[in-house]
A and B are shown apart, each in its own frame.
Chain A
Amino acid sequence: MTALGLIVLLLAGSLLAWAAARLGPAWPQRVSLGVLALATLWLFALWQTGPDADGAYAVFERPWIARFGISVILVIDGLSLLLVALTLALGAVAVVSSWTEVSERHGFFQFNLMLTLAGVVGVFTALDLFLFFVFWEVMLVPMYLLIAIWGHERRAYAAMKFFLFTQISGLLLLVAIIALVLLHQRAGGELSFDYRLLLDGPAVLPAWLMIGFLAAFLTKLPSVPVHSWLPDAHTQAPTAGSVILAGIMLKTGAYGLIRFVVPLFPDAAEAVRQPVMLLGAVSVVYGGYLAFAQEDFKRLVAYSSISHMGFVLLGVFAWNQLAVQGAVVQMVAHGFSTAALFMMAGALQERLHTRELSRMGGLWQRAPRMGAVALFFVVASLGMPGLGNFVGEFMVLLGAFQVDVGLTVLAALGLVVAAAYALLLMQRSFQGADTADAQPLADFGPRELTVMGLLMVALVGLGVYPQPLLDLSGPVVSGLRAVSGAGP
C-alpha cells in the first residue's frame, strides 16, 4: 500500500497546495514542504522496517486494464528507495528555492511542482511497462508548464524543445514496449506488461527493440547527440524547475538504462556496449568543453550536467558491480551538487538580475557567505576527493577500466576539463575585480543557509562514508546483473 500511498500523498499535496493559495501567498509553499516532510518520514519508516525476502520494501499490485494485461505494479526496492528519497529531498530544496523567486500564482506553481514529483516517484517505482510509460510522459506536462509560465526570457522556445525531444523519443519507447509485449506473447508467454514476467520470458528479442528504449533514455539522460534540449530547458526554467530537471529528471533516464535496457536486452546491450560507452566518454569531455565556453552561469552548470551524466552512461554500460554502483552514487551526488549550483544561480539572478558571468566578479567581498557556499559546491562538482561526486566518478572509472581502457582514459580527461570550467566559474563570479557598479548585495539568509548546509552535509557524508547507499543499491544491482547473465 505504501508504494501507492506515496504517490497519492504527493498528488493530494499538489491539490492541497493549489487550494492553500486562498489562505495567502506563503501557504502553498508551506503545504508542499509539509507534505514532502510527511512523505520523507514515511519513506524513512519504510527503510527502517527493512526489505522482504525479495528485497522489496513495499509492493502494490492491482489489475488495471485487463484487456492488455496491464496492471498497476509499484515496487520500492533498494534502488527505488534511494532515488525516491533523492526526489523528495530535492523536491524540498526546489520548494525552498522558489520561496522568493516566484512572485505570482504560487498555488498553481506548487501544484505543478508536486505533480512533477509525483510523476517522478511513479517512474522510479513502476514495474509495469505501461504504467512506467504513463508516468514517464505525465511528469512532462507539469514540468512544461513550470518552464512555460515561470521561466525566463526564452521560455516558450525552451519549454517546447524540452517537451518535443522527450515526447518523440518517448513515442519510440512506446512502440518498443508494445512490440516487446506482443513478441513475448507470440513466443508463448501471456499478454502482460509486467516487467518481471517479461524479464524471464523467452529470450528471442530482436536487437532493434532496444533502440526504442535506448532512444528515450539517452535523450533524457542526456547523452551527446541528443542533448541539445538540456541547456535551453535548464537555463530558462525557474530555479525550482532547474533543480528538479537536473537533480531528478535526468536520473529517470539513467534509472531506465539500469532497470530496463540492459536487463531486458542483455545481448543487444552487449553488442552496442562499445559505441554507447564511447557516447558516454564523449559526453563527459564534450559537455565539459562546452561548459568551459559559456557566458551564462546557469548554462555553464547545465553543460556540466551533460558531462557528469556521461559518467553515469559509462558506468551503466560497463555493467560490472563497481561501475553500476558508481553510477548510482554519481546520480545522487550530482543531484545534490547541481541542485545547489542552480540554487546559487537563482539566488544570484534574483539579486543581480543577470546570469551573465561577465557582469559578475568580486562578489565574495559583497557576499562572503554565498562565496563560501559556492566554492564548496564548485569544488564538489569538479570531483574533489572527500565529497560524493569523487566517489561516484572514481568508482565508475575503476569499473570501466576493467572493460575498456581507452574509453576510461578518455573519460578521465573529463576530470581535468571539469577542474577548468568549475574553477573558471568560481573565478569569474566570486573572485577577480569587483564590477564597477558594485551595489550592496544581500547575503544568504538563514533559510538559504539551512538548505545549503544540509546539502553540504549530504555531499560530505556521501564522500566520506558512502557505504549505506551502496548497501541499499547493491543487492538490486547484483540482482539485475544476474538476470542479464552478467552481460554485457
Chain B
Amino acid sequence: MSGADFQALAVHLTLGVAVVVLMLTVSFRRSHGVAAGVTLVALVAALAAIGVAAPVAPRTVTPLLVVDGFGLYFAALFLLATLVLVLLSYRYLQDGQDDPEEYYLLVLAATLGATTLAGASHFASLLLGLEIMSIALYVLVAYPRAGHSPLEGALKYLVLSAAASTTILFGMALIYAATGTLDFSSLRVPADAQPFLVAGLAMVLSGVAFKLSLVPFHMWTPDVYQGAPAPVAGYLGTVAKGAVFAVLLRYLVDTGALADPTVLRVLTLLAVLSMLVGNLLALRQQHLKRVLAYSAIAHFGYLLIPLIALGRVDPTLAVEASLVYLGAYFAMTVGAFGVVTVLSGRQIDGDADALDAYQGLFWRRPALAVVFTVVLLSLAGIPLTVGFIGKFYLFAAGVSAANWLLLAALVAGSGIGLYYYLRIVFTMTRSEAEGATGAATPWLPGQWALGAVGLVVLLFGVYPTPLIDTVRQLIGGWSG
C-alpha cells in the first residue's frame, strides 16, 4: 500500500484509531464526559479526514474498498448524523444507573462499519462492514437501562438480523460458486443466468431488504424502534439503513443487475408494498417511535424509485436523486428522533413515546415544537423543506423513467403519510393536558445541534443548490 492509499483511507483509519483510543480511555478512567469528548473529537477529526481523502478520490484501495465521491458523501452523512445523535445522547444517558461509556465506543464502531459499507465494492468488505455495524447495534439496541426492559426488541433484532446476515452470506457463496468472483465490477450478470446465480442474488436481495426493512421483511422494525433508546433508534433509522442502501446502490450500478427484468420486478414489488403498507400501518399507531418506524419503511420504499429508474434513465439523475433524498431523509429523521430524545430528558425516566406526551408542546416548548413541525412537514414532503426537494427528485426520476405504477404508489403513500404526520402536529397544537409535565430545560449543546438540523432542513428546502451541486460534483463520472 502506498501513501496515497493510506490518505484515501483517512476516514476509516481515524475512526479505527478512535475506537482503540476510546477503549483504552474507558479501561483506565471511567468518565462520561471524557468518553463523550473523545467521541466528539473523533467524529470531527473523521469529518476533517474526508477533506484529506477527497483529493485522491476516486481510488481503489486493495480489491476490497473504493474511496470515491459517492462513498465520501455517505461517510459525511453518517458522521454528521452520528455527531448530532451523540450530542443528544449526552444528557439522555446522564445519571443512568449503568455505565454510559461503552455506548460511545459502540457508536464509533458502528459508524466505522457503516463507512466501510459505503466504500465496499466486494462481497468480503460488504460482509465485514455489515457485521461490524450490526454487532455493535445488537448491543446498542439493548443498551442497559434501568427499569424498563428493552430486551424483547433487542432479542428480536439480534435473531432476525443475524439470520439476514447469514442469508446474505449464503447468497454470496452461491454467487461465488456460479461466477468465481466476489468483486462487484466483475460480476456482470450474464444473459443466461445460472440457477445458482439467481438463487444467490435472491438471497442477497432479501437479506438487504431485511436490513432496509422493506415490506414484507419489515416485521421487526416497529418493535425494535420502540424498544431501543431514542437516539439509538435514530441511528438505526439513518446510519444503519443508509449504509446498507449505499452498498445496494453501488452493487446495482456496478453489476448492472437491473438489466434483469426479474430483479426489476422484485424491486418494484418491494417498493410498492413498502410505500403502501408502511404508510397504512403508521396510521393507527399511538406511539411516536412506532410511527417513525413505519414511516421509515415507507421512505425506503420511496427510495427504491430512483433505484429502479436507474435501469431506464440517465443514471446520473437516478443516483443524484437517491443521494439527495437520502441526505434529506437523514436530516429529517435525525431531527425527529432528536426531538424524542430531548423530550425524553434522561433515559431513566423512560422515553417520551406516547403521542399524548406531545399534547400542547407548541405552547409548552415552542422552539422544540417548531423544530418538530418543520421536520414532520419535511417528512411529509411539504415545499420549502428539504424533504420536498427530495420528493421532487423522486418524482423527476419516476416521471423520466415513465414508471407510473411507482408514481401512483408514491402519490397514494404520501397522501396517507400526510395524515399521521399532521396528526402529530395537531396533537402539539392542542391545549395542554391537565398536569402535563416537562418544564423547559436550558438549551444544551444537543438542543443547539437539533436546532441546527431544523435550520438545515429549512435552508436546503428554500435554496437546495449547494446540496445539489455537491452531490453532482461527488458522483461525477462514477455512475456513467
- A residues sitting closer than 8 Å to B (CB atoms) are 64-68, 105, 130, 133-134, 137-138, 140-141, 144-145, 148-149, 156, 159-160, 163-164, 167-168, 171-172, 174-175, 178-179, 182
Contact = CB atoms under 8 A, between A and B. Distances in A.
B263 to A, nearest CB: 25
Interface string B276-288: 0000000000000
Contacts of A134: 383-384, 388
Nearest to A105: B363
B108 to A, nearest CB: 35
Given A134-B384, A178-B395, A164 B415 contact: yes
Contacts of B468: 65, 67
Interface stretch (B94-102, B211-219, B418-426): B418-426
Given A134-B383, A156-B426, A167-B418, A174 B395 contact: yes
A220 B410 CA distance: 21
A137 B429 contact: no
28 contacts: A65-B468, A66-B465, A67-B468, A67-B472, A130-B392, A134-B383, A134-B384, A138-B383, A138-B384, A140-B382, A141-B382, A148-B429, A159-B426, A160-B419, A160-B422, A160-B423, A160-B426, A164-B418, A164-B419, A167-B414, A167-B415, A167-B418, A171-B415, A175-B395, A175-B411, A178-B396, A178-B399, A182-B396
Nearest to A212: B411
A179 B411 CA distance: 14
B422 A163 contact: yes
B464 interface: yes
Nearest to B468: A67
Contacts of A148: 425-426, 429
Contacts of B388: 134, 137
A137 B384 CA distance: 9
A169 B464 CA distance: 25
Contacts of B382: 137-138, 140-141
Nearest to B427: A156
A103 to B, nearest CB: 12
B323 interface: no
B230 interface: no
Contacts of B463: 64
Given A148-B429, A182-B399, A137 B383 contact: yes
Contacts of A144: 422, 425
Nearest to A147: B426
A411 B81 CA distance: 60
Contacts of B464: 65
A196 B453 CA distance: 37
Contact of A145 (B363, B410, B429): B429
A484 B395 CA distance: 28
Contacts of A105: 363
Question: Sorted from nearest, which 9 A-B pairs have the closest CB atoms?
Answer: A134-B383, A168-B415, A171-B411, A178-B399, A137-B383, A149-B429, A67-B468, A179-B399, A148-B426
B429 A174 contact: no
A66 B16 CA distance: 40
Contact of B377 (A67, A130, A141, A159): A141
A140 B381 CA distance: 13
Contacts of B429: 145, 148-149
B149 interface: no
Contacts of A141: 377, 382
B407 interface: yes
Interface in B410-468: 410-411, 414-415, 418-419, 422-423, 425-426, 429, 463-465, 468
